[in-house]
Amino acid sequence: MQRIHLIAIGSASMHNLAIAISKKSNFVVTGSDVEILEPALSHLHAAGLTPNKMGWNSENIHKGLSAVILGNNATSDNPELLKAKELGLKVYSLSEYLYLQTRSKTRIVVAGDLNKTITTAMVLFVLKKLRIETDYIINTDVKGFDNRIKLSYESRIAVFEGDECLTSAIDNRPKFHFYKPQIAVLTGIQWKSCADYPNFETYLEQFTKFIDLMEVQGRLICYKNDENLNTITAKLRRDIVAFNYNTPAYEIRNGITYLKTKKAEIALKVSGEQNLQNIEGARLACKQIGVTDEQFYSAIGDFE
């Protein structure tokens, strides 16, 4: 039996992680926080994971724990964190723990600060329609998925929305550096003022490092018309296979967008060139794990 304690369980990602872990057999989950707001409080209550008492308590940490997971809302002087260090317990960030749980699986990571959430959602939607068991993390609620994180014993694939924000109070690496994907999609990079990075050059370096951390013979899928992506992918490791994507052929009739494929036109429930580009990136990602174009197109037409 593995006993896992989550410090700062009330955040959006951490409470979803707690629920995901608790659904695996042979795991017991506890957590703590000074305040838990809705909807996290209701979600934890429904899963039987609400802390007995709010606040930090070093007595929550003991040698019987298999691991402690530190949320990025916790500070470096957190008394539970200090107790965990004192006892020599293994302390993980959320991202590090996700990698630990999926390191034997094929990991698809969608990153970039443009459209990564919807592209991730498209990949997950298609795999679910095709009944392909998948672990995942996504940073927002998606129709048809009851939790933002899923971990299982059965799946051989994990799909991650890659987040470039810093990991935790004791680890200043970006979250997506932990995932080490076999398949990566980079949707685009645009500089937005970010407290985690002092300038655009430093920000861009994180994506270069993300590519460098890909597994051997990784597949890298990039939006073709992004100048920043073109800059960082100009010189790739020799073993990385790169694919570029652009806006696929389409036509709009009576307010409906039709995607033109080699065999047929696919009526879509989404519109706009960005969504068409997202579809193309998702298609290439799914293709790397054996999903045929015919299977992909038969599913994506229902994506809202």
Domain with CATH 3.40.50.720 in the chain: 2-89
Identify the three-state secondary structure at position 46: helix
Domain with CATH 3.40.1190.10 in the chain: 97-300
In the chain, beta strands by DSSP E: 2-7, 27-32, 67-70, 91-93, 106-111, 134-137, 149-150, 157-161, 166-168, 171-174, 183-186, 219-223, 241-245, 250-253, 256-260, 265-267
Q: Please tell me the predicted confidence (pLDDT) of residue 16.
A: 97
Mean pLDDT of all residues belonging to the chain: 95
Q: Which residue has the higher pLDDT, 170 or 156?
A: 156
Is pLDDT above 70 for 4?
Answer: yes
Cis bond upstream, residue 39 (ω within 30) = yes
- The count of other CB atoms within 10 Å of the CB of residue 59 is 8
pLDDT band at 23 (very low <50, low <70, confident <90, very high): very high
Question: For residue 133, what is the DSSP state?
Answer: -
Q: In this structure, what token pair is assigned to residue 186?
A: 């980079």
Give per-residue pLDDT as tens, 118-135: 999 999 999 999 999 999
Is pLDDT above 80 for 268?
Answer: yes
Q: Please tell me the predicted confidence (pLDDT) of residue 190.
A: 86
Mean pLDDT in residue range 269-287: 97
Give per-residue pLDDT as tens, 49-108: 999 999 999 999 999 999 999 998 899 999 999 999 999 999 999 999 999 999 999 999
Q: Which residue has the tokens 């872990």?
A: 21
Distances (CA, A) of 188 to 116, 204, 223, 282: 9, 11, 6, 14
Identify the three-state secondary structure at position 239: coil
pLDDT band at 22 (very low <50, low <70, confident <90, very high): very high
pLDDT band at 141 (very low <50, low <70, confident <90, very high): confident
Chain centroid to CA 231: 24
Q: Decide which of 3.40.50.720, 3.30.420.10, 3.40.50.300, 3.40.1190.10 is the CATH code for 97-300.
A: 3.40.1190.10
Tell me, which fold does domain 2-89 have in CATH? Answer: Rossmann fold (3.40.50)
Rounded to whole angstroms, the Cα distance separating 115 from 120 reads 9
pLDDT band at 117 (very low <50, low <70, confident <90, very high): very high
- In this prediction the pTM is 0.95
Q: What is 241-300 written as a DSSP string?
A: EEEEE-PPPEEEETTEEEEE-SS-EEE-S--SHHHHHHHHHHHHHHHTTT--HHHHHHHH
Is pLDDT above 80 for 193?
Answer: no
